[in-house]
Structure 1
Amino acid sequence: MRFLSRLLRLTACAVLLGACAPERERADLVFIQSAEPETLDPALTSDQVSMRLSTSLFEGLCRVTQAGKPEPAMAERWDVSEDGKIYTFHLRAGTTWTNGQPVTAQDFVASWQRALHPDTGADYATLMHVIRGAKAYTEGTQKDFAQIGVKALDAKTLVVELENPTPYFIDLSAFVTLAPVPVATIAQHGTAWIKPANIITNGAYILEEWLLDDRIRLRKNPAYWDAANVKMATIEVKPVQDANTALSYFHTGQCDLLMDKGMLPPSLTQKLKQQSWFHTAPFLGTWFIRINVTRPPFNDPRVRQAFALAVDKKRIVEKITQLGELPAQGITPPGIGQGYQSPPGLDLNVAEARRLLAEAGFPDGRGFPRVEYLYIPLPIERNIAIELQSMWQEALGVTVNLTKQEQKVWLKSMRELDYHLCRSSWVGDYNDPSTFLDLFTTGNGQNRTGWANTKYDQFITAAAREADIPKRNLIFQQAEQTLVREEAAVIPVYSYVGVQFYRPEKLEGVQGNLIDDHPFRCMRWK
C-alpha cells in the first residue's frame, strides 16, 4: 500500500522508540487520543478527552449505550410525576464503590452539592440548573442545600425536583457531571484524590496507572454491577498529538482504536476514506471560533461581524477537512432534536465585511492592531489556522498571528479569556438545542467569550419554560440569531463528522452516534 509505506517512513523513529521501550503486558485494548486528560474529576471535566476516561471510572443514575442512548445504571428504574417535574430514582441493589462501601442516594446528594457549590468551579454546574433552586445555590443566593430539589428518601431512593419539565433530564442523568464521587476521599486527599493510589470509583473500570504524557491504564472493576458484560479487562490510553505517529501505531498493531477527529493526516484523507477500517458518521458537533469580546477591537460587534463575514466556510470543508462536513449556519448542528433548525447565519460576504470594518474605524485594515488566533497542535488545526489567517488578510487587510498551545494550556487560556480569537468546538451532551445554546448565557462556565447579553439570557430562560415545542424552537431561533448574527460572539464554521479507526472484523461495540460517545465497557473482540 503506497501511502502506508510513505507514512511508515515518516514515522520510523516513533515506531523504533516504541519497539525499544521496556516490555510490559499489552492491554486488551490500546486506545490513542490526541491529548493528556485535563482531569478525571467528574465535576471538573469539560473536554471530550477527559470525559472518555472519567465516564469509564464513574457511573451515574444512567449510563450511555454504544448507540449513544441513556439506559438504567446506578438507578434500575425511576418514576416521573404527571407534571414532569419530579423524578424518583430507585437505586440498584448491591452497587458498591471500589472500597466495598455501598453506593447510596446520599452519595448523589453530596456529589451534586459539591458540583453545584461555587467554590468547586465546575464549568458544567449550569447544566444542573434545571433542578429546583440549583442556580441560586451556585450563585450563592441560597446557601442551604436542604432547600434545593435533591433529596435522599432513604439509602436507595433519590428524589429530584426540577424547575420546569425537562424532556432531556434522563439524558442528563447519564452525563458525567451528575455521577457520584467519593466525597470523604476528596476531603481526605484534596486534589490528589484522583491519583491511582487514592482514587475510589464506582464505574466499569479502576484507575491502575497514570504516567503523565505516557499512558493511562484502566483495569476492569470486579465489583461493578455489570462486570459480567465488560469484556476488555485492561485498557491503555496513550496521548499522541502527531497524526502520522498515531496512524503508524495503528498500522503496526501498537494500538487498536483511534477516535479523535484531529488524528487524521490531512494529506492522506482521500486515501484513508477508502479503507475498510476507516469509519465516519455524523454527530451533534460544531467547529467554531470563539471571540474574546472583552478585548479591543473585538469589543465592537461590527469588528466581530466583519471577521465572520470574511470566513469562507465552504473552502475550509472542501479544501481541508474533506469528510463531507456541512458549513455551519449556526452553533447548533443539523439533526438536533425537537425538530430544531438554526436560522441563517453570517455567510461569506467580503464587501460587507470591509464596510463594517471601515465603519468600526479600520478602513482596509489600517490602524488595526495585531491580534492572535489560538489553536491546538494537530495538523488539521494548523491547516485551518493558516487558511483563516490568509482569509482575514486578503479580505480585511489585517494581520492575525497564529499561536499554538497544548490542549491544557489552550483550555486555560479560554477560561481566563487570555486570547483574541480561538479555535473551539462543542459536542452535544444530549440531543436538544439547549445543549448548544445554553452555553452562552451570562456566567455559564462554558461561555469563555466574556459575552453577556440580557436579551439572549431572557430568550434562553423563556425557552426553558415553554412546553410547546414549536414555540420553544422559535424562541431558540431568536436567541441563536442574537448570538451568531447580531452580536457575532462566535463564528460557526462547520458541523462535525465523527471518525473512528478500527478493524470491524475484529473489534465490535464501536458505533457512530449523535453524541460521539463510545464507552469502553461496550467493546469486545470477536
Structure 2
Amino acid sequence: MTSTLGRRSFLGGLLAAPALGAVLAACGGSGSAASAGSATLKWASSYFPTHWDPVVGGSGAQFRHLALVYASLTRVDDAGNAVPDLAESWDYNDKGDQVTFHLREGLTFSDGTPVNAEAVKQAIERAKNQEDSALFGDLTSIEKVTTEGDLDAVVHLSQVDYQIPLLFGERVLQVASPKAAADPKALDQNPVGHGPFVVTQIIPGTKAVLEKNPDYWDAANIHIEKVELVSAPDPSTVVSGLQTGVYNFADLAPSQAKAAEGAGLDVFVQPGYNASNLSLNVNKKPFDDPKVVEAVRHAINRQEFVDKLTFGYGTIATQPFPEEYIAYDPDSADLWPYDVAKAKAALAESKYSGDDLKIDLVIPDEDASAEIVQSQLAAIGITVTIKIDKNWATPFFAKDLVTSLYGTTGRDSPLQTLTAHFGPNGPLNLSTPYEPEGFEKAVAAVRETPLEDPAYAETLQKATREGLASEALVFTFSQPNVYVKDPSISQLPKNPGHINWTGVKIS
C-alpha cells in the first residue's frame, strides 16, 4: 500500500479542480485605480466576497479571500496535512473524544483583542449557533468547548473523531475577533481577524484594499505590502487587464488560457480536490427506481464534459477526490463506464416509460454542463427540461428538486467531503435521508483512526468506496483551478484548494 504521505502528495501539474459550475473570470477597468508599487498584489476575482463574516461566507470559494484577513487554528500544507496556524500544536486524550489546541503566545486581532482560548471558544460556538451560519453542519461532532488557562482550547466531542485538526482549517474555522463578532452584521462588512492582512477599505461587491498586518504571527514570511482585491465580472478582459497593469493576478477562465500564455503571462493550475456531479433525488420518480439510476450512470460520457468545457485543463471525475489524493479509491476508478447500450437496457427494465421519463433539471444560471446532460440523457430516452431558478439554493437544500447539477471546492477533511456528499444529512445529498448501506460504519471507522495510523489511508478509501455506492450522485468532471499572474510574482505554494501568500514575492 502506498504510504499516507505519498498518497496525499499533489503533483505540481495536477489538473484537479474547483466548483459550483461557475466559470472563473477576471475584471475590466473598473478596478484600474490600483496603485503602483512592487509589493502590491492587484487581484481580480470572480468570487469577490459577498460576506466577510467567516461564519456566513467562509464555506464557499470565498474562503480563499477571507484568508487574507483571518487565520485559523490549523491550515494544510502542500501534501494536505494539518499543520499549525493559530494553534502551534494539539493533542488528543486517550479515548480520542477530546482534543486540546495550544495557541501561540502574545497574538492579537487587528483591533487589539487577544487571540486566546476564549476567542476560539466563541468562534466555534458562533459557527455552531449563529442563525445564518453556513458552517453549523460541519461541527455536529463537537459537544462543547472549554478553556484551560489563557491559551488552551479544549474541544469535547460527542464521538471519537481524529479528523478535527483537518476540519479546523481555513474552510471551517477562520477565527474573528470576539469583540468585532459581537455585532455579526458589522463584522460582515468590516472584518477583523489575525490574518496576514488588515482591511482598510471595502466597497461592497466591488473592491477591498488591505495592508500587511505587522502583528501577524508569520509576518516575516509575508512579503506583499498591499492587496487590492477587485470583482471581476468579465472573463474576456483578463489578459488585457494583466498586460496593461490593471491587475497582476487573476482567476482565469480555461478558454482564456492560451491567449494568456501567448501574451507572456504565467498560467498555472492550483491543486484542488473538487468534482462536479449530477445530483439525483431517489425519493422522487423516476429515480426511486434503481434501474433508472443505473441507466443514467452508464449514459454519462465524462470525457465530453472535459473536452467541451475545460479546454484541456480538466479531468474526468468518478469520485469527489483527484487521483493523487489519499482518499481516492483506486478500486472505484471506473464503476460505471459510459455505455449507451447498457443504459438503454437498464431503462427498458425499469418500471417507467413515456411521460414518467420527462424530468426537470433545475440550475441557478445558464450552464453548458446542463446542455451536455440533456443531450446525453436524450440519447437513452430520458427527456430533460432545463429550468433556471435564481433562488435554486432554497429547493436544492430543502431536497425538493428531482435533479440538479452541483460542484464543490472540496474540504480539508476528506471525511467531511464524504459526509457532505453521501451522509443522511449531507448538504450535497439531494436524496436526504437516504445513504448507502455500509457508509455509516465506514465513516465511523475513519473517525476512529488517527491520521498518523498506517491503516488510515486504507480505512479512508474504504469509506469512499462505500459512499460511491450512493444512487444520489453521478460524478462528471473536474473543472480546474486556473490562475494567471504577471511574471513579476513568484510561484505560489501548492496548498491544495487554497491560495497561500506565504513566501510569495513581487519583484
TM-score range, shorter chain: 0.7 to 0.9
Structure 1 distance, partners of 2:63, 2:406, is 17
1:457 to 440, 447, 450: 440
Structure 2 distance, partners of 1:301, 1:210, is 51
Instruction: Give 1:275-314 correspondences, 5 Å limit.
Output: 277-280=266-269, 282-314=271-303
Task: Please tell me whether residue 264 in structure 1 is matched to residue 254 in structure 2.
Answer: yes
Q: Hey, what does 1:158 align to over in structure 2?
A: 153
Structure 1 distance, partners of 2:238, 2:431, is 32
Task: Please tell me whether residue 127 in structure 1 is matched to residue 108 in structure 2.
Answer: no
1:384 to 365, 369, 381: 369
C-alpha RMSD of matched pairs (Å): 3.4
Render the CA deviation track for 1:185-233: whole Å, top value 9, x for unaligned: 333x34333222xx43222222333323322332323332333432223
Which has the larger displacement, 104-113 or 470-479? 470-479
Check conservation: 1:65, 1:522, Cα contact below 8 A: no
TM superposition shift of 1:162 = 4.9
TM superposition shift of 1:33 = 1.9
TM superposition shift of 1:492 = 0.4
TM superposition shift of 1:371 = 0.8
Task: Please tell me whether residue 425 in structure 1 is matched to residue 425 in structure 2.
Answer: no
Give 5+ residue unaligned stretches, structure 1: 1-13, 135-147
Instruction: Give 1:25-104 correspondences, 5 Å limit.
Output: 25=35, 28-45=40-57, 47-64=59-76, 70-81=82-93, 86-104=98-116
Task: Please tell me whether residue 318 in structure 1 is matched to residue 292 in structure 2.
Answer: no
Task: Please tell me whether residue 337 in structure 1 is matched to residue 322 in structure 2.
Answer: no
Q: Does the C-alpha gap of structure 1 residues 101 and 474 become closer, same or farther in structure 2, counting only changes over 3 Å? A: closer
1:252 to 244, 248, 253: 244
Q: Does the C-alpha gap of structure 1 residues 441 and 397 become closer, same or farther in structure 2, counting only changes over 3 Å? A: closer
- Identify the structure with the greater helix proportion: 1
Instruction: Give 1:127-276 correspondences, 5 Å limit.
Output: 127-131=138-142, 134=143, 148=144, 150-162=145-157, 166=161, 168-187=163-182, 189-196=183-190, 199-259=191-251, 263-265=253-255, 268=256
Render the CA deviation track for 1:258-280: whole Å, top value 9, x for unaligned: 236xx222xx5556567651112
Please state whether the residue corresponding to 1:525 is helix, strand or coil: coil
TM superposition shift of 1:165 = 6.1
Task: Please tell me whether residue 374 in structure 1 is matched to residue 359 in structure 2.
Answer: no
**Count of aligned positions:** 472
Q: Does the C-alpha gap of structure 1 residues 519 and 335 become closer, same or farther in structure 2, counting only changes over 3 Å? A: same
Structure 1 distance, partners of 2:90, 2:205, is 41
Structure 2 distance, partners of 1:47, 1:163, is 23
TM superposition shift of 1:52 = 1.2
Check conservation: 1:368, 1:398, Cα contact below 8 A: yes
Q: Does the C-alpha gap of structure 1 residues 452 and 82 become closer, same or farther in structure 2, counting only changes over 3 Å? A: same
Structure 2 distance, partners of 1:402, 1:273, is 36
Give 5+ residue unaligned stretches, structure 2: 1-26
In the superposition, the TM-score normalised over structure 1's length comes to 0.78
Render the CA deviation track for 1:454-498: whole Å, top value 9, x for unaligned: 733343234433564376246414422321xxx2x1110124543
Structure 2 distance, partners of 1:476, 1:211, is 44
Which AA in structure 1 matches 2:185? T
TM superposition shift of 1:184 = 4.4
Task: Please tell me whether residue 499 in structure 1 is matched to residue 499 in structure 2.
Answer: no
Check conservation: 2:419, 2:426, Cα contact below 8 A: no
Which AA in structure 2 matches 1:333? P
TM superposition shift of 1:518 = 1.1
1:414 to 396, 401, 416: 396
Please state whether the residue corresponding to 2:475 is helix, strand or coil: strand
Q: Hey, what does 2:418 align to over in structure 1?
A: 436
Task: Please tell me whether residue 469 in structure 1 is matched to residue 469 in structure 2.
Answer: no
Q: Hey, what does 1:11 align to over in structure 2?
A: none
Structure number with greater CO (CA < 8 Å, separation at least 6) is 2
Which AA in structure 1 matches 2:388? T
Structure 2 distance, partners of 1:474, 1:233, is 43
Please state whether the residue corresponding to 1:508 is helix, strand or coil: coil
Q: Hey, what does 1:479 align to over in structure 2?
A: 466
Please state whether the residue corresponding to 1:181 is helix, strand or coil: coil
TM superposition shift of 1:388 = 2.2
TM superposition shift of 1:152 = 0.7
Which AA in structure 2 matches 1:440? F
Which has the larger displacement, 454-463 or 342-351? 454-463
